[in-house]
């Protein structure tokens, strides 16, 4: 799975302004075989991430429509996004803009609504469930933000 965006990736993108991201970094800086492994790891990780996200969305839908099996919903979501990708860049861009606007609107709603429930005393003790739960949350955070590395894939000048 690609690493989340980091200063190292930014430096590598400036140092090697070539498209290909992780594949190019590994191929040019380590060896062609390392590039081969990195490239195919990226392909397979994208497949698994797509499946995981589809299943996650399907579980949300299954709470609204419990009579429809989760796997059927997940496959339908995958087919929907395949159809959108086949239809072309314009449709993909419109959908992406719509989803980003929706996501930012929801986040702003939760921030505005949550400010009324903010109390400093909620942060004492700092890790009431233990450090293990912080690490679990960190794993989800890094999974959710793997897309930031995509900018290095098309970084060629």
Give per-residue pLDDT as tens, 55-111: 999 999 999 999 999 999 999 999 998 898 898 888 888 988 999 999 999 999 999
User: Among candidates 37, 38, 36, 56, which has minimal Cα distance to 48?
Assistant: 56
**Domain spans of the chain?**
7-154
Find where tokens 């299954």 sit: 62
Burial class (CB in 10 A: 0-12, 13-18, 19+), 133: exposed
Quote the longest CA-to-CA distance of the chain: 55
Task: Give the model's pLDDT for residue 72.
Answer: 94
pLDDT digits (tens, 9 = 90+) for 132-152: 888 888 877 776 666 656 656
The Cα 76–Cα 84 span in angstroms is: 12
Encoding tokens for residue 99? 């989803």
**Inter-residue contact 9 to 28 (CB < 8 Å):** no
pLDDT given for residue 153 in this prediction:
64
């Amino acid at each position: 799975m690609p690493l989340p965006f980091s200063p190292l990736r930014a430096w590598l993108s400036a140092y090697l302004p070539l498209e290909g991201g992780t594949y190019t970094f590994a191929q040019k800086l380590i060896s062609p075989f390392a590039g081969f492994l990195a490239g195919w790891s990226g392909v397979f990780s994208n497949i698994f991430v797509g499946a995981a996200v589809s299943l996650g969305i399907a579980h949300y839908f299954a709470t609204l429509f419990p009579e429809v099996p989760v796997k059927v919903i997940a496959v339908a979501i995958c087919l929907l996004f395949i159809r959108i990708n086949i239809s072309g860049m314009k449709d993909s861009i419109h959908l992406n803009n719509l989803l980003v606007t929706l996501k930012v609107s929801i986040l702003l709603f939760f921030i505005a609504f949550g400010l009324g429930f903010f109390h400093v005393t909620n942060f004492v003790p700092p890790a009431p469930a233990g450090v293990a739960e912080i690490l679990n949350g960190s794993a989800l955070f890094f999974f959710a933000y793997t897309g930031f590395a995509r900018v290095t894939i098309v970084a060629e000048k």
